[in-house]
Amino acid sequence: MDEQAISRRQFLVDAGTLATGFVTGASIVGITSCAPQEIVREVPKEVIKEVPKEIIKEIVKEVPKWPWPYVKLDPELVRKKGHLRCAGGGCGYGAFAAIIEALRETVGFPYTQIPTELLYYGKGGVVALGSFCGALNGAAAAITLVTNSYGGLVAQLANWYTKFAFPSDLSNQYAKERAFQVGSDKVLVTSVANSLLCKDSIANWCKESGFSSGSSERTERCYRLTGDVAAQAVMLLNNL
């Protein structure tokens, strides 16, 4: 084999590696909504001839149309995930990540493509402004992703939220039994928000419990509330 043939073969090997990396990268950053041929158009023709179509189709998966597939989830698994994720990124992220992670584990793709960190902004009632409760915000986003009946479900969830005493008895029990991965094992006082606003929900609980809004107890209360909201959202979805 002459040097020119060897150089060409090496070029194709290197280009094929680059193309595969390009396509994989495209999938990661969200270009998966493009059909495979649209991705392939950006790759040199001589490279495409060397990459089996089966491999390209496997790498570049087309994102399904909305709403995305949903399977019934375990509310208690989601409750515990919500508590843990709230501790790591706030209430908006906590509720959203709890549901999406559970769907990653049961459904897989396309939920593996969502950066759950996109709900980081929701903590503290949207970047700590004390407005719409972050846990509700995150749960509503997850609900909207999986059903075109999101309007009625989000309204049900919001109505329940205003009347429910947080944290739930079940969350208090989990804490006492150290069933949560993080946080306190104290049984916390409960309170009803009578509002969809973060600041009202917290103020009512602080008045009822005697703890300040900056206390570790209040922080733990919001961890548990987030798990409770995520679990309730899943129960509503499971009943569809």
Count Cβ neighbours within 10 Å for each residue of 105-128 and write b for 16 or more, e otherwise. Answer: eebeebbeebebeebbebbbbbee
Q: Which of 26-30, 67-71, 143-147, 167-171 has the lowest mean pLDDT?
A: 26-30
| Residue 17: count of CB within 10 angstroms of its CB | 12
Q: What are phi and psi of 132, to 5 degrees?
A: -50, 125
* Cα 96 to Cα 91: distance, rounded to the nearest angstrom: 9
Q: pLDDT (tens digit, 9 = 90+) per residue, 55-66?
A: 666 566 788 899
Kindly tell me the burial class for residue 7, based on how many C-beta atoms sit within 10 Å of its own C-beta (0-12, 13-18, 19 or more): exposed
Q: What are phi and psi of 166, to 5 degrees?
A: -100, 150
* Cα 95 to Cα 100: distance, rounded to the nearest angstrom: 9
* Helices and strands (DSSP H and E) totals, the chain: 11, 2
Task: Specify the pTM.
Answer: 0.78
Q: Which residues are CB-neighbours of 160 under 8 A, at least 6 positions away? A: 232
Q: pLDDT (tens digit, 9 = 90+) per residue, 185-230?
A: 999 999 999 999 999 999 999 999 999 999 999 999 999 999 999 9
* Cα 175 to Cα 20: distance, rounded to the nearest angstrom: 47
